[in-house]
Structures are given as structure tokens and as C-alpha cells.
Copies of this chain bind each other. A is one copy, B any other.
């Protein structure tokens, strides 16, 4: 099929071979249409029953829906055809027939529940809407990588099989590794920090993370894609600058490159690239604003984490992406640095979409002794992390960074109501296959 033409490229006057799926057959009596769908769109194939070879008409009009077909013929202008052109076929071949009974309807005329769609992703991604989400997802990842590279960051790949989890033994999936106990890594945090102390200085990674959390919500996954950035010689403010830049770069790329996909998802009008600087609210300001909304039954006090309800109340109030900075030290992990002039306040920050948290970041503790003390305060054994803490004795620069949830970015960007819509093959407590 080397000389195959994409349906979107078929122009009147061309002689083409197209290949794709039998999307629909419409039989009007003396005339019938086969709609062929491929990666780029759809095209109408016309069968004039009295004028054409009987076998050709038979093959083209009796093929079962979603079979793979290959059609050779001439492209002609036809204003009444959905794309303004149609193919007058010389040959039609059924390359791979489909069972007449389909587990879901790729034309989208019959709705299917999410579990059915996830069980049949091959068919589900023949629907324009599902396909659009994943074309946009790919564009987002490419844009974020390009942005990081434009900021002098080097792409790294860190191990997913590890001896110790980033934040200790909870919420880790255990592996049997040649007779030893090991774990699937829940975050590249410690490894990316080891690399900012190297000659690379500034690094990023987009890769899978694994969390054995028992959450079962529309916004948690047990295997997710983490977009991680870490840089020497910047503080938490610098990390927020890069974070904001990456997010805006993703939105800009989607606006520029995915107009058709946004149209398919009904977002052509609603999609907006954030232009303004994201407000940076201190934690203290944030809880004051939440309390002032009056939307919560109970007032927040200093030290409280923000509940989902609190995040949503604040999101409605702010109305766009924003940061929450200067979190109480006690709610942030040991590797986040406290403010030098106030050890009760950390340099940790979150970046929020109005509907949920997207990013967690901060300046890191780069001083060896303070870092080891932090492990102990958190009830972790520093000896188990010596491969990491040891490097802080050999000139570890001040550094900062963040982790951005890839699926949450796509989910909030497109207004999806379940994070599983943004993953091809989600993993949760119930779902391990396909």
C-alpha cells in the first residue's frame, strides 16, 4: 500500500487508492454510498448500481461496518458529499472483515459506558472525540519537551525499578527483583535531584510513575505520566516561572496545531490560551480567600490542607490557573526547603487549575545535615537513602523544581470529567487489563 492516498489529500481529478475502515453504508436504491474513514478523515465512495460491475457493487455495499477496505478509483467533485468530493470506484477490496456485532459503535451514534470503551480502546479510538483527546495529548507532551529544551534543560530517564520509594514504603507497588524486594518508583524526585548536582544542572523527564494509593476517584490513577523538571541555581520563584511557561507552551501548541481536534470536542470557541501571569497566592492568603467565599461549612485554619471543596471554592474565586506558595512546612515532604527566616513556612508550591491541583514543587533542601534531619523528622531511615544523601556532601547547588501531572493537564485543558479519558489504558484498583 505504498501508493495509498490519505482521504484528506484526495483532490478532484486524482486517481487514488485509499484504505481505511467502512464507516457507514447508505443504500438509496439505485445508488449506494460507502463512507471510508482513515486517520485524516472520511471520504464517500459512490456505487451507481446499474452502471457498475455487479461484483464491485456487491463487495462495496455489503461489507460489514468497521471492516478494513481498500478502494481504487477516480476522485470527482460532488457538492452534496460531506467533503465535497467522492470516489468513483474501479476496485474495492475487503482487506480485513469485521464481525457484524461490534462491542461499541465507533460512529458514536450509540453511546457506550466508559468501562466498555476502556475494554475496547481500539474501537473507542475510532471515534473522532476519543482520537482527538490523544492527538492533543501527544501535542501537549511534544510542546512541553520543546519548551524545556528551549530553557537549556536536558532530557533524562531515571529508573522505574528502585530499592526505596521517594517518600518511604507506603503507597509503593512491591516487585520481586532477582530474589530481592524492590519497588516501582512513585516519583523521579530523588534521581532528578541527583542530576542537578551533576554537570547537567537542569533536567526534565516525562515518564510513568506508580502509586499504590487506594483512591478510586475520577482524578486519581495508579499509573500516571509525570512531567518533571528540576534545576540547579534557581529558587522556588524560578521554578514557578518555568512551570507557568511550560503550561502556557502546551496551551499555545494545542491552539495552533489542534484546531480540528478542538472543533471535534466542541471547544473551538471555549479554548483559551492563558495570557496573564498566574497569581501567586501565599497559603495564608489562599485560606483567607477560601474562608471569605463562604462556600465551606467550616473555616480553614493555618495548618489545614486544602480539601477538594476548598480547592474548588478558591478556583471559582480566582477564575484561572494560580499558584499557592509558602505552605506550612509540616504538610510538605522532607526534601522541600523551609524559608531561612521562618522555619515554619516552606518554599513548597502547588500550581492549581480552578478545578484541581496540577503541580507540586518547591525549592529543595540542598544542605546535607538539614536533609538528613528531615528524613528523621518524617520517620524515614536516612541510611536507606544514603545513595542520595551522600551526594549532598560533595557540592550540591541550591535547586528547585516541580512535577506536573500529565493526565491532569490534559483533563483540565479539555474539561474531561474523568482522568481515565486522558489515558489509553488506565490502571486503577479494578482495572489491570487491557
Which single member of B95, B126, B223 contacts A199 (CB below 8 Å)?
Answer: B126
CB-based contact B142/A149 at 8 Å = yes
**Known A173-B177, A198-B125, A387-B434; contact A1-B233, beta-carbon cutoff 8 A:** yes
A135 to B200, CA, bound (A): 8
Which single member of B154, B223, B394, B434 contacts A123 (CB below 8 Å)?
Answer: B394
Q: Say yes or no for A288: interface residue by CB 8 A criterion.
A: no
Residue-wise, chain A 18-29 has the 8 Å CB interface mask toward B (1 for contact) of 010110000000
Q: Which residue of B lies closest to A183 (CB)?
A: B175
A164 to B149, CA, bound (A): 36
Query: Within residues 366 to 404 of chain A, which ones have a CB less than 8 A from any CB in chain B?
Result: 366-367, 387-388, 390-391, 393-398
User: Which residues of chain B come closer than 8 Å to A367, judged between CB atoms?
Assistant: 96
Q: Say yes or no for A160: interface residue by CB 8 A criterion.
A: yes
Binding-face segment, A43-51, A275-283, A425-433: A425-433
Min C-beta distance of A59 to chain B, whole Å = 15
Which single member of B98, B103, B155, B195 contacts A125 (CB below 8 Å)?
Answer: B195
CB-based contact A201/B122 at 8 Å = no
**Known A156-B134, A156-B424; contact A122-B391, beta-carbon cutoff 8 A:** yes
CB-based contact A387/B433 at 8 Å = yes
A83 to B248, CA, bound (A): 38
A178 to B67, CA, bound (A): 38
A72 to B233, CA, bound (A): 15
Q: Say yes or no for A161: interface residue by CB 8 A criterion.
A: yes
CB-based contact B195/A184 at 8 Å = no
User: Which residues of chain B come closer than 8 Å to A210, judged between CB atoms?
Assistant: 160-161
Which single member of B102, B161, B173, B429 contacts A223 (CB below 8 Å)?
Answer: B161
Residues of A within 8 A of B (CB): 1-2, 4, 19, 21-22, 37-39, 66-68, 95-99, 102-103, 106, 119-128, 130-131, 134-135, 137-138, 141-142, 145, 149, 152, 154-164, 173-178, 180, 182, 184, 191, 194-195, 197-202, 207-208, 210, 212, 214, 222-223, 225, 233-235, 238, 366-367, 387-388, 390-391, 393-398, 423-427, 429, 432-434
Q: Which 3 A-B pairs have the closest CB atoms?
A: A125-B198, A387-B434, A98-B395
